[in-house]
Structure 1
């Protein structure tokens, strides 16, 4: 499925990101160095950015764990094919083809790590702006403390007026920095988790596709019992199994976020006309109601292809 493969529709719509920076490291996720890095991330650096720094380090460790899962998956696929080769023709063919599908899952997980890394890198930009805001906060606190100290020690000191002017400038700088932090935090947070959820959605739907074609392969196995000495009919599913793999490859290549199988969820909480989600039938825009019990089942009976998050609707 991987030899001389042309770019998929998803890759043409959204070019794949560069390989994750967490791949190919010598130390594993359980190494002492890795544990030290995660702990140190929350102990050093600007105080404002310590919590996010620790989150980013944990995410890096998670990516390395995912890489391990991807590699193990490929090893499982190869070993399944090796084991099946010594069995009857139908078992040998089906396990070989299932091994191809499992190996493809490992490849998809490997690609997922690269896309997931975009989420982690985007969070870094929030961490960096948090670190840049810390000095302005510290300066404002320091000047405020100096003014309070002088007013207690020498209320008539001419330095008080100078420091108060510096405090005004420091507060103005801090306001600009805080506003920038607020804006960037929201912008990057949405972008980061869009990367994560889109990559999760792609991986999940493609894995579901592979699972469906894998079950189709199982139908080629004749599992009817035979009596001792009875000969099982000759296996003639080679062309069918090959076509299943081709169909799976075509389905994976054609998949994009725009034509994905999962539709937008229908939320029971509706806030305004700008929402991207559909207003449930029977609910008036801007009004809320509580639906419980048997009435709730009737209310949602019209939505055959959706499942409400909650029966409670708030204005």
Structure 2
């Protein structure tokens, strides 16, 4: 009997891969210092937070722990492939029905191992995105340290030399350090939220695709089991001749077609929010939309006026806002309007710093 352990000989791209091209191979699949043993897992987890800025230590440990998770998933994939081969080898010496079905079950289990390998590649997108947050945290730490250092120097001088002229110089440096820190903290806040949503979108999309494809394989595997005649026989009785070869091939082909044509838009499992959850989520979105937000992208630009001056945000050339957003903000902030002149309230204020 011709045996194969892969359901796709030509390895043509699936519909899901065409819709969402697969990422490059996971970075965890090569360059292993300690081989494939678990010693590397414990070493990475124990030393992840020992180096680098304090702000990034916790996330550094998370990134290393996720690498351990990915290596474990790689091991699961390889073990499944070996199990599939061993199952087929065992079934080869059994009766015809058991031999054929175990051969085809080996094909399905081997495919599950390959799905594990593909899942690791997509899971790595999540880990790399989380890693970018860690890098931003590490870059913000110096500005925090500089600000704290200047603050400590000023406090020390005021205690030892209250009349020292260096206090004025340090206070000016502190103003600049606070401005730099303000920009860095705002960037960290914005990027953290953006990357967090992107990272877990990668992870949940990968989990969804992997789980649905495994469920497809499990369903067709149960169809294969129906081909095994488990009717009890008495001693000396002969079972009917097995005639399910074509049926088992057709089941494998159907499974291959289902996996190849799967796309996220055809996912069978849908998560539906309750009415209460949906209302609360929508209420929060509407509140955030009414409140708007302050664009901090240009807050680090120096201004020519004195420190206490301000310029309405609407006078900046780069300030743009949709009419629909303006209407929503006006409805939510009627109580803040100036009743005397009927002009809309000033929402954005920029403080100029003289360095």
Question: Does 1:222 find its partner at 2:224?
Answer: no
What do residues 96-133 of structure 1 show as CA deviations (whole Å, max 9, x unaligned)?
00000000000000000000000000011100000000
SS, match of residue 264 in structure 2: coil
- Distance in 2 (CA, whole Å) between partners of 1:241 and 1:88 is 15
Aligned to 2:179: 172
- Distance in 2 (CA, whole Å) between partners of 1:28 and 1:161 is 59
The answer to whether the Cα contact below 8 Å between 1:29 and 1:64 also exists between their aligned partners in 2 is no
- 1:275 shift after superposition: 8.5
Q: Aligned match of 1:5 in 6, 11, 27?
A: 11
Question: Does 1:28 find its partner at 2:10?
Answer: no
Cα RMSD for the two superposed structures = 1.4
- 1:274 shift after superposition: 7.3
- 1:28 shift after superposition: 2.5
In the alignment, structure 2 segments of 5+ residues that lack a partner are 1-6, 286-355
Aligned to 2:303: none
- Distance in 2 (CA, whole Å) between partners of 1:119 and 1:58 is 13
Correspondences of 1:1-315 after superposition (within 5 Å)? 1-24=7-30, 25=32, 27-31=35-39, 33-267=40-274, 268-270=276-278, 271-273=280-282
- Distance in 1 (CA, whole Å) between partners of 2:42 and 2:86 is 32
- 1:239 shift after superposition: 0.2
SS, match of residue 27 in structure 2: coil
The answer to whether the Cα contact below 8 Å between 2:8 and 2:256 also exists between their aligned partners in 1 is no
- Distance in 2 (CA, whole Å) between partners of 1:123 and 1:220 is 47
- 1:258 shift after superposition: 1.1
SS, match of residue 277 in structure 2: coil
Q: Residues 254 and 275 from structure 1, CA distance in 2 versus in 1: closer, same or farther, beyond 3 angstroms?
A: farther
What do residues 199-252 of structure 1 show as CA deviations (whole Å, max 9, x unaligned)?
000110000000000000000111001111111000000000000000000000
- Distance in 2 (CA, whole Å) between partners of 1:231 and 1:164 is 98
Which is greater in Rg? 2
State the aligned residue count: 275
- Distance in 1 (CA, whole Å) between partners of 2:283 and 2:240 is 62
Give TM-score, length-normalised by structure 1: 0.85
Give TM-score, length-normalised by structure 2: 0.75
- Distance in 2 (CA, whole Å) between partners of 1:255 and 1:36 is 39
SS, match of residue 5 in structure 1: coil
- 1:263 shift after superposition: 1.5
- Distance in 2 (CA, whole Å) between partners of 1:37 and 1:85 is 43
In the alignment, structure 1 segments of 5+ residues that lack a partner are 277-315
- Distance in 2 (CA, whole Å) between partners of 1:122 and 1:274 is 29
Aligned to 2:288: none
